[in-house]
Chain A
Amino acid sequence: MAKRAAPEVNAGSMADIAFLLLIFFLVTTTIEKDKGLLRSLPPIDDTEVEPPVIKQKNLFTVNINRNNQLLVEEEEIPITELRQATIDFLDNGGGTNQAGESCDYCKGERSEASSDHPDKAIISMKHDRETTYEKYIEVQNELVAAYNFLREREATRLYSQYYPNAEKVFTAMLEEKEKNQFSKDEVLNERIETIKKLFPMKLSEAEPDKK
């Protein structure tokens, strides 16, 4: 008897099956895109060391009450003005830092009544237990925005020649760091640290009063 060739399997519907699966996964996929404000908490300090005295003028107090009203430096202001007020405070440069250097990159008013140096400027934030989380994040966002604005300005001043096409130089630097996370770029890291040092984020949060 003649040997019959095995009949060929029709693979034409393979594409259909694959499409069906593809569409299922397309629909169920949610590309995770969680973003948020990254903050560090202070470690618990049990030592009984007297905290150093901070001059009132180097302290920028932000209070939120239970009705979500904002009190900044003993004055009630709308949240839209918080960012500029924070920038003015940080950028004031009225005096010298710990090492006795005056802030030569500050562009503020150099007023005697406001902060001495970005190194010394501390933002102290306090909220009530019944403040809503939404308002709390909004305020945090404005404070971080003030720091980002100033860091962005310094990055543009110092390093814009390396990033001629970037609109936001500091953001571009951070993105590059993100891209090269497996091959460490020492120069870039150093530059980012330099910028961060010019305006160190000193944001302290007081615990809300317990009732």
Chain B
Amino acid sequence: MSKFRKKDKGGLPAISTASLPDIVFMLLFFFMVATVMRDSSLMVENQMPNADQVEKLKKDRTIFIFAGKPSSQYKQFGQEPRIQFNDAFITVEDVQSSVSQGIVEMNEELQSKVVIGLKVDKNTNAGLVSDIKQELRKANALKVMYISNNQKVE
């Protein structure tokens, strides 16, 4: 009789799952955008040293240089620590030209803010790092970042 009569009980109404694909797609797009496929495979052992006074790295203005002992599948390159740039081993003398090339390929407004990310294995001799730094000074790329694990130093 009354308009506001309670509806007769019919159990719990089914929850609509129609928006589920939308939610999942949203997540999917996020991860698709956030995913970075590794562009250069590591050819050297690369265990970072520990440090706790670290700053974040801005990836868009960074050129990475790796250094360390050649890893097990690249044994033919010997036991001495080597420098890897992009996908190849380079010698100390090549660092300057490689870095200059890397800078030229970068976005123009970021070229003056370039940071060199040094990913060096912790068992490398510091002499090699100092050689690299000397070359970087010649290439006039003066900002370096020693990439490290952010852990408390014991």
Contacts and interface: CB of A to CB of B under 8 A. Distances in A.
B133 interface: yes
Interface in A121-150: 127-138, 140-141, 144-145, 148
Interface string B129-147: 1100110111010111111
A204 to B, nearest CB: 13
A1 interface: no
Given A15-B17, A18-B28, A133-B123, A144 B140 contact: no
Contact of A37 (B25, B126, B129, B145): B145
Contacts of B142: 40-43
B1 interface: no
A18 B127 contact: no
Contacts of A30: 36, 38
B53 A35 contact: no
Contacts of A64: 126
Nearest to A66: B125
Contact of B55 (A37, A129, A207): A37
A9 interface: no
Interface centre among A11, A22, A128 (most CB of B within 10 A): A22
Contacts of A15: 17, 20-21, 24
Nearest to A149: B53
Contacts of A44: 137-138
A64 B129 CA distance: 15
A36 B32 contact: no
A36 B57 contact: yes
Given A38-B55, A141-B153, A21 B147 contact: no
B35 A138 contact: no
A159 interface: no
B125 A129 contact: yes
A50 interface: no
B144 A129 contact: no
B147 A133 contact: no
Interface residues of B, number: 54
A77 B150 CA distance: 25
A130 B129 CA distance: 11
Contacts of B118: 36
A31 B130 contact: no
A190 interface: no
B120 interface: yes
B88 interface: no
Contact of B148 (A37, A41, A178): A37
Contacts of A141: 50-53, 148, 153
Contacts of A11: 21
A138 B24 contact: no
B124 A133 contact: yes
A14 B21 CA distance: 6
12 contacts: A28-B37, A29-B34, A34-B56, A36-B51, A36-B145, A37-B146, A41-B136, A43-B137, A132-B126, A133-B123, A205-B130, A207-B134
Given A132-B124, A208-B126, 14 more contacts: A15-B24, A32-B59, A36-B51, A37-B145, A37-B146, A41-B144, A42-B142, A127-B130, A128-B126, A129-B127, A133-B126, A133-B128, A134-B122, A207-B130
